[in-house]
Amino acid sequence: MNSSRKAQAEDERSNTGTVAKEVLRSFVERIERLEADKQALQADIKAVFAEAKGNGFDVPTLRTCIKLRKQTPSKREEQQSLLDLYMHALGLGGAIDDAQQSGIDAANAGAAIIDNPFISDDPRFKRWEHGWQAQTGLLAAQDEKQQM
């Protein structure tokens, strides 16, 4: 009786091992098919970009447009606001709005970030904060440079 139990247990382990191997093989094969599909899609995307370039479109700008379309309008506005602020700080132009300029002025005057005059629901709140943060960072960098 003991030997029949051992044989039955070995059969179960063997069956379990076979099932696990089949499941594992199934996962690997599915992933391999998806990888092949992904490569085909990437080749198709590359071909569309080449076609767009052939029609006179700038591919990096097209990629940027695609990236921006994936963002929410508020996230796009925040990104543009930061880009303008950074460009202005680097002397590359960039449009600074009144809220950002107010934040820059507040940082120059030594105001704390909690002195933001806009309520958090107001879109100017973040722009003021970005102006204040950028200017505070510039002031700190200038102080470090002077101490050297």
Q: Quick: pLDDT tens for 110-148.
A: 999 999 999 988 888 988 998 898 888 878 877 777 777
Together in a domain, 15 and 57: yes
Instruction: State the residue range of the domain holding 86.
Output: 73-147
Distances (CA, A) of 66 to 49, 61, 76, 79: 12, 9, 12, 15
Q: If you average pLDDT over every residue of the chain, what do you get?
A: 86
- Residue 57 DSSP label: -
* 7 band by pLDDT with thresholds 50, 70 and 90: low
Domain boundary among 70, 100, 131: 70
Q: What is the mean pLDDT of residues 61-74?
A: 92
Angle at 131 between CA 129 and CA 133, to 5 degrees: 65
Helices (H), the chain: 2-54, 59-69, 73-89, 98-108, 123-147
* 28 band by pLDDT with thresholds 50, 70 and 90: very high
Q: What is the pLDDT of residue 95?
A: 75
Query: How many other C-beta atoms lie within 10 A of the C-beta of residue 96?
Result: 20
Domain boundary among 21, 52, 70: 70
